[in-house]
Amino acid sequence: MATPQIPVSQFVVCGECDALQKLQSLARGQLLACYQCGARLGASGSEHLHRVLPLTIAAGICFVLANSYPMVAIEVAGNRASTSLIGAIVELYRQGVPGVALLVLLTGVMAPAAQIVLLAYAFWLRAAPRRLPGLSPSVRLLHHIRPWSMAEVFMLGALVSLVKLAGVARVIPGIGMWALFAVIFLTAAAEAAFDVKGYWKQSRGDRMSGTERARCVSASALGVIGCPVCGQLNRRAWSEGACWYCEAPLQHRKRESLSRSWAYLLSAFIMYIPANLYPVLQSRTVAGDESHTIMGGVVALWRGGSWPLALLVFFASIVVPLLKLLAMTLLLVSVHARWSWRLRERAHLYRLVEFVGRWSMLDIFVVAILVALVRLRSLATMDAGPGALAFGAVVVLSMLAAQSFDVRLLWDSAGRNEHTRPA
């Protein structure tokens, strides 16, 4: 495929509003933000490749420890029980909730593992004296896996579980918990050192620069498409469906964005009802059987004196999912109605929805830890309730609704891109 003869190092396209912007010099360490919608476009001098390999190796070692050793143990009346992350997944499967087990496996084990492996593999290919074929696909895959890697959410869920059990049992944090805690920070540091957008810029020999308004505000008006992975400019006639530089698939706009977003969103609204009506956890103790809904868990934390965690679970598991669904509804309706007011604020709202979406998995991870940990024979047991699968479906469907929505449609529907012409 022929390389386009446009000055690609001089322009950048915002992936959230389609604004074409000209690059200028920028001091090292400064961030780039779109002048129109405020989206982050990259950073200058954000890569520190010499740190990537040791951080990634350390993260991989800690990840193996986190899955090999128990995360936490409890002791009650001489009975002791412990669990690891893998043990929690196996217990969920044994209890007849394979859907929840698969969700925890994908987001708590497979996605974080793939993130670490891809970081190490991409660095190894990047360090080669010449560009190797597998580098572009590995970096693209890393770009798509990031939202589904939820090790930090699982860690928070484990802490909530410990607080829930602290009043009735002796809680003993294990090696697996400390190792998972290390994985979170090491992976974040490695990703910060291996900035994806910065990688494409530096591998081409350019330094990331600042931006100013180009002569044409809309990239679409010039027939230019910005690659969502590497940020390179592509003319539609040249792209042939793939970026000329990193070979990522290109689309002028996400196909059937509105219809797919509505389908996921309405499904999430439907599942939100049983997720809050049915119990997510069922406990059996010598005092009797008890079912716990999401709101019931919040009340139990509040009555136990853990009001900070009660508020955290309340917002993460009840308020955030509902507000996320309502926010996506507002964004979709605004596109259909062609609203032109508060475009920048609605773009910020979309970014907020994407950011907080994954944290709603908190309750699913709490259930996973509790059902695996509380297996004290005749004293106490906990099982996953039907509400857990429904709530997991709400989280996944709402994330898919946000990922399917093309935020550039906000600006298109307001006429900002369609009628823009060169100055």
**pLDDT tens digits, 126-170:** 666 555 566 667 777 887 888 888 888 888 888 877 777 776 678
Residue 293 lies in a domain: yes
Q: What is the pLDDT of residue 62?
A: 92
Return the higher-pLDDT residue of 27 and 109.
109
One domain, residues 147 and 223: no
Cα(14)–Cα(24) distance, rounded to whole angstroms? 15
Q: What is the pLDDT of residue 203?
A: 46
For residue 49, pLDDT over 70 is answered with no
pLDDT winner (highest mean) among 3-17, 37-51, 64-78, 301-315: 64-78
Cα(210)–Cα(24) distance, rounded to whole angstroms? 5
**Mean pLDDT within 255-278:** 91
Please state the φ and ψ torsions of residue 78, each to the nearest 5 degrees: 85, -5
Nearest in space to 362 (alpha carbons), one of 283, 309, 422, 405 = 309
One domain, residues 310 and 379: yes
How far out from the chain centre does Cα 248 lie?
Answer: 20
Return the higher-pLDDT residue of 309 and 298.
298
Residue 420 lies in a domain: no
Return the higher-pLDDT residue of 1 and 7.
7
Q: What is the pLDDT of residue 236?
A: 61
User: At 48, is the secondary structure helix, strand, or coil?
Assistant: coil
One domain, residues 166 and 32: no
Q: What is the pLDDT of residue 339?
A: 86
Q: What is the pLDDT of residue 153?
A: 86
As for how many domains the chain has, the answer is 2
pLDDT tens sequence across 356-401: 888 888 878 888 888 877 765 555 677 787 888 898 899 999 999 9
Q: How many degrees, rounded to 5, is the angle at CA 416 between CA 410 and CA 418?
A: 100
pLDDT tens sequence across 54-113: 888 899 999 999 888 888 888 776 677 778 888 888 888 888 888 888 988 999 899 999
- Structure tokens, 106: 């994908």
Q: What is the pLDDT of residue 126?
A: 64
One domain, residues 304 and 264: yes
One domain, residues 234 and 261: no
Q: What is the pLDDT of residue 260?
A: 93
One domain, residues 131 and 109: yes
Residue 249 lies in a domain: no
One domain, residues 143 and 167: yes
Mean pLDDT of the chain: 76
One domain, residues 120 and 209: no
Q: What is the pLDDT of residue 398?
A: 92
For residue 421, pLDDT over 70 is answered with no
Q: What is the pLDDT of residue 161?
A: 79
Angle between helix axes 175-193 and 111-126 (nearest 10 degrees) is: 40
Domain that holds residue 217: 8-47+198-239
Q: What is the C-alpha radius of gyration for the chain, rounded to an integer number of angstroms?
A: 24
pLDDT tens sequence across 185-244: 888 888 777 665 555 554 444 444 555 554 445 677 667 777 776 667 777 654 457 777
For residue 300, pLDDT over 50 is answered with yes
**Mean pLDDT within 286-294:** 67
Q: What is the pLDDT of residue 95?
A: 82
One domain, residues 131 and 263: yes
One domain, residues 160 and 221: no
Q: How many degrees, rounded to 5, is the angle at CA 357 between CA 396 and CA 159?
A: 95
One domain, residues 170 and 310: yes
pLDDT tens sequence across 325-359: 999 999 999 999 888 888 888 888 988 888 888 88
Question: How does residue 259 score in pLDDT terms, banded at 50, 70 and 90?
Answer: very high
One domain, residues 131 and 223: no
Helix ranges (DSSP H) in 338-418: 343-356, 362-373, 386-404, 408-413
Residue 246 lies in a domain: no
Residue with tokens 């991989």: 60
